[in-house]
Structure 1
Amino acid sequence: MRRRAVAFAVTFVLTAGGGAVTAVPGNASGPPASAELTTRTRLPDRRSVVSGDRFYSVSTEDGLYPATGWHTLGEMGGFWTPPLKLLDGVWFGLGGRWLGEQAKAESFTAGHGYTRIAYDTGGVQVERTDVSPDGVRAGLIGLKLTSSTARTVRLDVDAHSELTTAFPWGSTTPDQKAFNLPDTGAYEGGALVFREQGTPDVPNASAHDFAAMVAADRTPVAHELGKDHRGPQDPPVICPATGTTPQKCDDTEFGKGTGGRLSYDVKLPAGHGTTVWLAVAGSDHGTAEAHSALSTALRDPAGLLARKTAARRAVAASTVVDLPGDRLLQQSVEWSKQNLADSVQQADDLHLRATEEGKQYPPVKGTLAKARWIGAGWPDYPWIFGTDGEFTAFATVAAGQFGAIEDHLRTLRDVSDVVNDRSGKVVHEVVSDGSVYFGANDEKGNTDETAKYPSAAALVWRWTGDRSFLNDVYGFSVRNMHYVVDKLDADGDGWPEGLGNVERPGMGVEKLDNTVYTVRGLYDLADLARAKGDAATATWATSHGDAMTRAFDQAWWNGGDTHQFADSLDDPDNPANDNTKIFQRHWIGLTPLDAELVREGRLARPLATDAHAKEVLDQREKPCYTGENGLFHTGTGPTSAEGGNKGPACDSAVSSVQSDREAFTINTGIMAVAEGNFGRLAQQRRYTDDNARQQLDPSLYEMPGAMPEIVPSPDFDPPNIDRKETERSMVLQAWGAYGNLWPVVSQQLGVAPDLGRGRLEVVPQVPPGQPSVAGRDIRLGRGAVDVSAAASAKSLRTRVTSRVPGTRLLIGQVLPAGAEVASVALDGKRAAYQVRRTARGSEVVADAGSRGGRSDLVITLR
């Protein structure tokens, strides 16, 4: 993998630091009422991300802008309009006191689509609201100033530019020091105008005209230009490009920006707030586009904020869950939907080139007029990934955000076809300017994401029934699986070679996750082929999938007291085809339990048998694999690696690698899904709680409500909040949403659509010890479904209200272990039913037909 117990209603504010939980009132002069989380502690140490699809900013929660991130060391924060960074930051001085420094921030609030910071300068109360409107290459900051007495105050706004591209990075060839050109500053028509024009002295670089503009909704009374203007962060502490960095920096050796100041005299009436709006806008196509974005932002700032919050209320209105026995998970679902919406990005005019892991900067191979995608993580991974997007697909469809994942998959296809000459191989990592860091045809990985693409496409097809999307991605999906089967099995043993999710030393050439996702990808391609009427491809894919399935257990089960699958096969130091099993305790041992197979005429289930799944899950729940905050990347046990075993041992196998007790939210999420796939919802809660707490527990989160990449854990100590800003993992990582949205919607509520064929199954499983689960407005295609399920000692009740015309409904519920059915009634009448054995347990299902509307199922137990 790249290095890179709270219960609150969703309309309430969580106030950290000893405050109470209170309702959010509506306010005509501020954002509409919505869910908010507020913290008051360690604001200078916490990062904040404010995101729109064309613009985002990264700061600390006191409103300052230390040097942040590590791809280009210290330059990943500030203000961005992909693929361009505009500014290191903006700073506000009120009456000679800088907000965040002399006037300390008192609280930070994360809302749905905005953030807010409160300051008290001693005489004027200040409320700062940040928003990145969608569809505009601009961000807005509103300062609401309130004084108890009438006065005029001087407001100074400092801005420091850093016009630079998302790629190259600090350690690539060329690096950002060679590529970045000096900025110039000017004052024009009440605005600061920063530009970088020219051609870097780098082969294959082209001429560019970058522009950033800063202005307010009023005329300044004074302005200044100069090389500094970083507010309270002058004089700056400079991070070196290499070597040891200070605990905090203000700028870096990569920086070639300049600065300016705008000053305003603001009249404040007694007791009434006055809002000053500031806009930051920019373009990689010159000042005309930047000026247009600035004008759009300042034309109606309050209106843009209102439209943003309205759009986020629409996001909140889909997949509204009610989990009375698990309010923590309910709240986590609400915030995860917002995290996904925060992650949608767009860039235009991408110049596609394969950089061979940043070792070259070749000529442009092709262009892409427009790309939209779900960004992986902030601040260092806000661009396009295969693996991240394919995991995130499950959370995205469960949240009803279909357009985002369809755009992401189309973008992956478009870039891959150009860079890889339509081979079918999926690129791994694409920066927002079109630079492909890894995943070209001549590179070893990543096999897993090529195999996962047809599964993501099939998932979207089942949830949307979108025939145009199917037509768009089908040919690429066929090429994906032919590439894996025909090109990546050099020894002919049926198991694909190449890199997978875990990129660690000592692994064999054939990886477990690549195998699992190839099996699933073949079956999902067969499913797509049947929908397209392509019988030959359906037969080919099914045949290969069946052969791999039959041989899987014997080849991959490690057994013994490991109770696990092997992580990989074929020790590269031994002759090929030896099929040596290599066991290293990596998280990918869960993939046979996580990935469900959809096969014609059979019930969907994971690749692992029930017996093996029980062994794996029981073992992974032990301290050698699971810590206080989630599942470890690599478990502990006997090892020949330097340092020896650093934790408890749950088996006697000797691994060649050291453990890695970092808990990634995606790993914990996969464990939660795996537990749910085998009906273990009591055990699942441990892992959904682990991830939910990272968003909602003030003692754990960095940014309230944001799912991080890595959580506090033995080998990720200190946690992010105690690390240097230039050495942290992501404060917001989209793929972690997989581990809470999918378990709730797909497993607890049991929603399983196949809309392309006009079918829908809703078979909930109420977690043990909980009275009920429910969800409304779960989007399916252009319609939606409401689901509620309740369980007692004597009966199980499922209610489904379908607003998906022409879709046949199979309704049911999973029986508690050992329960027997006395009778089944559908809409008050005795009904025929079926008891079917699945990986989750015994399911009782009845055919509710295609009439739509409400269906009520009551299962009476003996």
Structure 2
Amino acid sequence: MLFGLLLVALALPAGAQTGPVDDGPSLSVSDRLEDRRYVATGSRGYVVGTEDGRFPAMGFHTRGEMGGVWTPPIKLLDGLWFGIGEDWIGPAEKFTGGYGHVEMELPGPDGLSIRRTDFVPDGKRSVLVGLTFESEGARTVDLKMDAHSELMGAYPWGETTPNQKTFNLQDEVSVEGGRLVFREQGTPPAENALPHDWAAVVGSSLTPTGSETGEDYRGPQDPAEVCPAPPAPNAEPPGGCDDTEFGKGKGGQLRYEVGLAAGEARTVWFAVSGADYDGENPADAKAAALSANEAALADPDALLEEKVLSRTGLAENTRLSLPDDRRLQRSIEWSKQNLADSVQTARDLEIRETNAGANYPAPEGDLEKMRFLGAGFPDYQWLFGTDGEYTAFASVGVGQFGPIKDHLRALRDVSLIDNGRSGKVVHEVVTDGTVFFGSNADDGNTDETSKFPSAVALLWRWTGDDAFRDEMYGFTKRNMEYVFRELDEDGDLWPEGLGNVERAGMGEEKLDNAVYTIRGLYDLADMARSKGDGETVRWATSRARVMERRFEDAWWFGREGATQYADSLDRSPVGGANEKIFQRHWIGGTPMDVEFPSGRGEVRPGLASRAHGNAALDERELDCYTGRFGMFHTGTGPTSAEGGNRGASCDRHLSEVQSERNIFTLNTAIMAVGEGNYGRLGEDQQQHYADANADLQLIPDEQPGAMPEIAPSPDYAAGGSKDRPFNERAMVLQAWGAYGTIWPVVHQWLGVRPDMGRGELAVVPQVPPGSPAISGRNIRLGGGSVRVEAEAEGRTYRTTVRPNVALDGLTLGHTVPRSESVRSVTLNGERVRYKVNTTNRGKEVLAGAPTRGEQELIIKTSR
């Protein structure tokens, strides 16, 4: 294990370090901190800045305004800065990501060391920043803090109707009780805008000795570079901005005297707190923000300890040992934290339908609360359908059941308010309740409606929560009814509408929509069967079987050298054949990444036939589809698009679209899971894609430990996000990429297949070739857990399971190569009856086992 950790340390870039700190595991970097963003989050707030301790303008939804300090649905500050005497502290020399917090090492005057700690207590609308001073000799430090406000709603955005240039109101600033108080009150000059009262309060654990207020106060970023919003057409992007014309904030400074004893550390805490009320609520936002600030500063050290303990507690779930791939093991440990970092709560939402930002109608309903996993920071930190449905697989794999259940509830609740009982799932919901896309009146994305029953079924199988299944069941039935009632105009069962690839030039029927609709039907039928709803079982199963039988003929492209599925179908006149459109998009991997339930822990991995699935995966491993960090959004090859072919060619087909050699972590995750479903676990197969996502956390592009949205890639930036302008970057933390690391290990390598709604568990591992024994303990299932160890040595396969959960049935197994024949199967040293299922993964050898105590299955094979 130490050797594995050493390899990771040696693989880190210059200036990066790895190792434990006082507050638990950590990852550090010390180069290009001014170019790297960071995020620290809590359930009611977050802060985004750069790792040198500065706050440049960043983000694109409202250009330049997506960083700073937020308590959704409002932004509070552009940033806060610290100085000693006449000088500003920083920039930082080292940045460290930890569990639930981040730290910066800052340069100080001779004989003075300074460490900054940022964290956000869960459940509180406050961001806490601590400066820890340690002096060689006794001294008094003249400390100052600048803060610049930007009270602004999460919506509208910079390019919507209305936009923030007219919607955002002027802030006011005052000093009250030794705290800076910022406030924005009024009604924006837009039809259907509601009056509001927003407040931000900045204070310290110390009593200030002086204060000032005014227009600026951005610390070392004064005088501010204010960039136009939006930029002029064809204008060269500025080198950097401190604010944009959207901003209407105010500033202030507080000063303090800090006495330091020789050799003793002293921490001075600062809190940024906020509150928001609409005009119909008589409560006072300023009073609420002041109260929140006082509460946050009452005992910040205890709040930090509580935060770190909660995160180390989450780390105890799904404790893995992967001796041959320690980086993947460590990546999954950090992904547990990434998922927890993504949990957000929004309250008092006004649900309104904007049709992709074109309208701003009156609210159509209210939602008291929604808890969800924010898709990505800083520009996508709200509720999405398809993001959460992919993230669900990672969430259950590490036992984080509660947040993803609430995410699905939030999607249902907003969809019912916005879309009534149509069954359509909304696509994108901002934290103030704005439905940007996915209403009945707009196209929406078909795939997230089709995937919703599968996400519910997944949670039900892992938790055994029949009440959750029953709560969601009616909505899942309407999901699939909506797809066939509204999105199959030509009656061929292939749903129409947008899917994950929202690109021009595609046919009406998309590959991923077809794939996920088949899975959604089977998962709905499985839940219906458990409830005794025979009519729904027959309705869903009959459609799924017909679609599955027709799938290969309808979707396999397989010509002009392309061993791939068509990305979309152009509907033909009635009675004719659909035209297959092949454009090399990443969704070509979706026929391989799904699996279907077969009952009693048995599954059918992959929709694609074995021959086509393997051929498609073989080709996608080539450099026309895959780079160092995973799979391109759109592969390269002959094209009539401007610029011609920008890369390798794996086929002769002339596509009308340009390649997009952007490597999204989701694309790579799809490929990793697809490879596993076809038993392709080798270093140049699944492990390449899983390790690619892992490397993005351990060899960080920006924030150490955080998996980003887009990896370093040819058409994005070879050096990653840190080489792009702050207003044109992908997310520094995106939740869904963990699908490609957690799910392959827990579900495919260790083979954990719960059906807890029926009290059943199957464990059917498949160990990567040449790997030593792998194991996982405290893998949460229902109200308990399971421990699994799997080993493949020569032609002997061992599965050891210790369930710590009530079960009605336990099936043990192992997946062996198709080329091998079973010689013997023993359970706890005794021969046992078994069955063999041949799937796309290989031969699954299965045997029943007692449900209590440690159980060991050993399979011996021959060629």
Same fold (TM over 0.5): yes
Q: How does 1:456-495 map to 2 (within 5 A)?
A: 456-495=455-494
Q: Kindly indicate whether the alpha-carbon contact (under 8 Å) linking 1:14 and 1:38 is maintained by their aligned counterparts in 2.
A: no
Does residue 105 of structure 1 match 2:92? yes
| Equivalent position amino acid for 1:137 in 2 | R
In structure 1, C-alpha distance between the alignment counterparts of 2:163 and 2:795, rounded to whole Å = 68
In structure 2, C-alpha distance between the alignment counterparts of 1:410 and 1:318, rounded to whole Å = 24
Does residue 252 of structure 1 match 2:244? yes
Partner of 2:325: 326
Does residue 120 of structure 1 match 2:107? yes
Residues 17 and 548 (structure 1), Cα distance of their counterparts in 2 relative to 1, 3 Å cut: closer
In structure 2, C-alpha distance between the alignment counterparts of 1:607 and 1:318, rounded to whole Å = 31
Does residue 54 of structure 1 match 2:25? no
Q: What is the CA distance between 1:18 and its match in structure 2? A: 5.1
Q: Kindly indicate whether the alpha-carbon contact (under 8 Å) linking 1:508 and 1:568 is maintained by their aligned counterparts in 2.
A: yes
| Equivalent position amino acid for 1:44 in 2 | E
Q: How does 1:137-216 map to 2 (within 5 A)?
A: 137-216=125-204
Query: Structure 1: which 5+ runs fail to align?
Result: 27-31
In structure 1, C-alpha distance between the alignment counterparts of 2:557 and 2:624, rounded to whole Å = 17
Partner of 2:512: 513
Query: Structure 2: which 5+ runs fail to align?
Result: 278-284
Name the Cα RMSD after superposition: 1.8
Secondary structure at the aligned position of 2:467 is classed as helix
Q: What is the CA distance between 1:7 and its match in structure 2? A: 7.3
In structure 2, C-alpha distance between the alignment counterparts of 1:643 and 1:689, rounded to whole Å = 32
Instruction: Kindly provide the CA deviation profile for residues 337-396 of structure 1, in whole angstroms up to 9, marking residues without a partner as x.
Output: 110100000010000001011111000000100011000001100001001000101001
In structure 1, C-alpha distance between the alignment counterparts of 2:435 and 2:770, rounded to whole Å = 49
Q: What is the CA distance between 1:577 and its match in structure 2? A: 5.2
In structure 2, C-alpha distance between the alignment counterparts of 1:224 and 1:571, rounded to whole Å = 67
Residues 802 and 357 (structure 1), Cα distance of their counterparts in 2 relative to 1, 3 Å cut: same
Residues 450 and 42 (structure 1), Cα distance of their counterparts in 2 relative to 1, 3 Å cut: same
In structure 2, C-alpha distance between the alignment counterparts of 1:813 and 1:254, rounded to whole Å = 59
Secondary structure at the aligned position of 1:459 is classed as helix
Q: What is the CA distance between 1:408 and its match in structure 2? A: 0.3
Instruction: Kindly provide the CA deviation profile for residues 739-765 of structure 1, in whole angstroms up to 9, marking residues without a partner as x.
Output: 000001000110010000011111111
Secondary structure at the aligned position of 2:785 is classed as strand
| Equivalent position amino acid for 2:140 in 1 | T
Residues 128 and 46 (structure 1), Cα distance of their counterparts in 2 relative to 1, 3 Å cut: same
Partner of 2:690: 688
Partner of 1:36: 26
Q: What is the CA distance between 1:796 and its match in structure 2? A: 1.5
Q: How does 1:427-826 map to 2 (within 5 A)?
A: 427-560=426-559, 561-570=561-570, 578-599=577-598, 603-682=603-682, 683-698=685-700, 701-717=701-717, 719-826=720-827
In structure 2, C-alpha distance between the alignment counterparts of 1:351 and 1:241, rounded to whole Å = 27
| Equivalent position amino acid for 2:687 in 1 | R
Instruction: Kindly provide the CA deviation profile for residues 785-818 of structure 1, in whole angstroms up to 9, marking residues without a partner as x.
Output: 1111111114211111111113421111111453
Partner of 2:399: 400
Partner of 2:281: none
Q: Kindly indicate whether the alpha-carbon contact (under 8 Å) linking 1:12 and 1:35 is maintained by their aligned counterparts in 2.
A: no
Superposition TM-score, scaled by structure 1 size? 0.96
| Equivalent position amino acid for 2:615 in 1 | E
| Equivalent position amino acid for 1:109 in 2 | T
In structure 2, C-alpha distance between the alignment counterparts of 1:420 and 1:575, rounded to whole Å = 30
**Match 2:20 to one of 17, 24, 29:** 24
Moved more, 248-257 or 825-834: 825-834
Query: What number of residue pairs does the alignment pair up?
Result: 845
| Equivalent position amino acid for 1:564 in 2 | Q
Q: What is the CA distance between 1:781 and its match in structure 2? A: 1.3
Residues 7 and 394 (structure 1), Cα distance of their counterparts in 2 relative to 1, 3 Å cut: farther
| Equivalent position amino acid for 1:521 in 2 | G
Instruction: Kindly provide the CA deviation profile for residues 599-651 of structure 1, in whole angstroms up to 9, marking residues without a partner as x.
Output: 45874222111111111001111111111221011111111222221111111
Instruction: Kindly provide the CA deviation profile for residues 445-503 of structure 1, in whole angstroms up to 9, marking residues without a partner as x.
Output: 20010000000000000000111211211111011000001111011111111111111
Secondary structure at the aligned position of 2:93 is classed as strand
In structure 2, C-alpha distance between the alignment counterparts of 1:7 and 1:666, rounded to whole Å = 30
Partner of 1:131: 119
In structure 2, C-alpha distance between the alignment counterparts of 1:21 and 1:603, rounded to whole Å = 42
| Equivalent position amino acid for 1:277 in 2 | W
In structure 2, C-alpha distance between the alignment counterparts of 1:672 and 1:734, rounded to whole Å = 16
Partner of 2:384: 385
Secondary structure at the aligned position of 1:284 is classed as strand
In structure 1, C-alpha distance between the alignment counterparts of 2:575 and 2:219, rounded to whole Å = 62
In structure 2, C-alpha distance between the alignment counterparts of 1:383 and 1:742, rounded to whole Å = 23
Secondary structure at the aligned position of 1:369 is classed as strand
Does residue 309 of structure 1 match 2:308? yes
Q: Kindly indicate whether the alpha-carbon contact (under 8 Å) linking 2:104 and 2:117 is maintained by their aligned counterparts in 1.
A: yes
Q: Kindly indicate whether the alpha-carbon contact (under 8 Å) linking 2:446 and 2:497 is maintained by their aligned counterparts in 1.
A: yes
In structure 2, C-alpha distance between the alignment counterparts of 1:6 and 1:563, rounded to whole Å = 43
Secondary structure at the aligned position of 1:562 is classed as coil
| Equivalent position amino acid for 2:433 in 1 | G
Moved more, 602-611 or 293-302: 602-611
Secondary structure at the aligned position of 2:632 is classed as strand
Q: What is the CA distance between 1:413 and its match in structure 2? A: 0.3
In structure 1, C-alpha distance between the alignment counterparts of 2:746 and 2:688, rounded to whole Å = 17
Q: What is the CA distance between 1:19 and its match in structure 2? A: 6.3
| Equivalent position amino acid for 1:530 in 2 | R
Instruction: Kindly provide the CA deviation profile for residues 522-567 of structure 1, in whole angstroms up to 9, marking residues without a partner as x.
Output: 1111111112221111111111111111111111111122111111
Q: Kindly indicate whether the alpha-carbon contact (under 8 Å) linking 2:815 and 2:845 is maintained by their aligned counterparts in 1.
A: yes
Q: How does 1:359-378 map to 2 (within 5 A)?
A: 359-378=358-377
| Equivalent position amino acid for 1:380 in 2 | D
Moved more, 70-79 or 10-19: 10-19
Q: What is the CA distance between 1:289 and its match in structure 2? A: 2.0
In structure 2, C-alpha distance between the alignment counterparts of 1:349 and 1:41, rounded to whole Å = 42
| Equivalent position amino acid for 2:366 in 1 | T
Residues 584 and 16 (structure 1), Cα distance of their counterparts in 2 relative to 1, 3 Å cut: closer
Instruction: Kindly provide the CA deviation profile for residues 414-453 of structure 1, in whole angstroms up to 9, marking residues without a partner as x.
Output: 0001101121000110001000000111212200100000
Q: What is the CA distance between 1:220 and its match in structure 2? A: 0.6
In structure 2, C-alpha distance between the alignment counterparts of 1:110 and 1:23, rounded to whole Å = 11
In structure 2, C-alpha distance between the alignment counterparts of 1:41 and 1:58, rounded to whole Å = 18
Q: Kindly indicate whether the alpha-carbon contact (under 8 Å) linking 1:373 and 1:405 is maintained by their aligned counterparts in 2.
A: yes
Q: Kindly indicate whether the alpha-carbon contact (under 8 Å) linking 2:12 and 2:698 is maintained by their aligned counterparts in 1.
A: no
In structure 2, C-alpha distance between the alignment counterparts of 1:781 and 1:7, rounded to whole Å = 36
In structure 2, C-alpha distance between the alignment counterparts of 1:426 and 1:784, rounded to whole Å = 32
Q: What is the CA distance between 1:10 and its match in structure 2? A: 11
Q: Kindly indicate whether the alpha-carbon contact (under 8 Å) linking 1:13 and 1:38 is maintained by their aligned counterparts in 2.
A: no
Percentage identity across paired residues of the two chains: 57
Secondary structure at the aligned position of 1:801 is classed as strand
In structure 1, C-alpha distance between the alignment counterparts of 2:598 and 2:612, rounded to whole Å = 20
Instruction: Kindly provide the CA deviation profile for residues 162-206 of structure 1, in whole angstroms up to 9, marking residues without a partner as x.
Output: 000000000000000111110001111111110000111111111
Instruction: Kindly provide the CA deviation profile for residues 37-83 of structure 1, in whole angstroms up to 9, marking residues without a partner as x.
Output: 01010001000000111010000001110001010000000000011
Residues 10 and 265 (structure 1), Cα distance of their counterparts in 2 relative to 1, 3 Å cut: farther
Partner of 1:29: none
Does residue 83 of structure 1 match 2:73? yes
Q: Kindly indicate whether the alpha-carbon contact (under 8 Å) linking 1:15 and 1:38 is maintained by their aligned counterparts in 2.
A: no
Residues 69 and 576 (structure 1), Cα distance of their counterparts in 2 relative to 1, 3 Å cut: farther
Secondary structure at the aligned position of 2:854 is classed as strand
Residues 400 and 10 (structure 1), Cα distance of their counterparts in 2 relative to 1, 3 Å cut: farther
Q: What is the CA distance between 1:288 and its match in structure 2? A: 2.3
Q: What is the CA distance between 1:576 and its match in structure 2? A: 8.7
| Equivalent position amino acid for 1:24 in 2 | P
In structure 2, C-alpha distance between the alignment counterparts of 1:190 and 1:509, rounded to whole Å = 61
Superposition TM-score, scaled by structure 2 size? 0.96
In structure 1, C-alpha distance between the alignment counterparts of 2:854 and 2:406, rounded to whole Å = 33
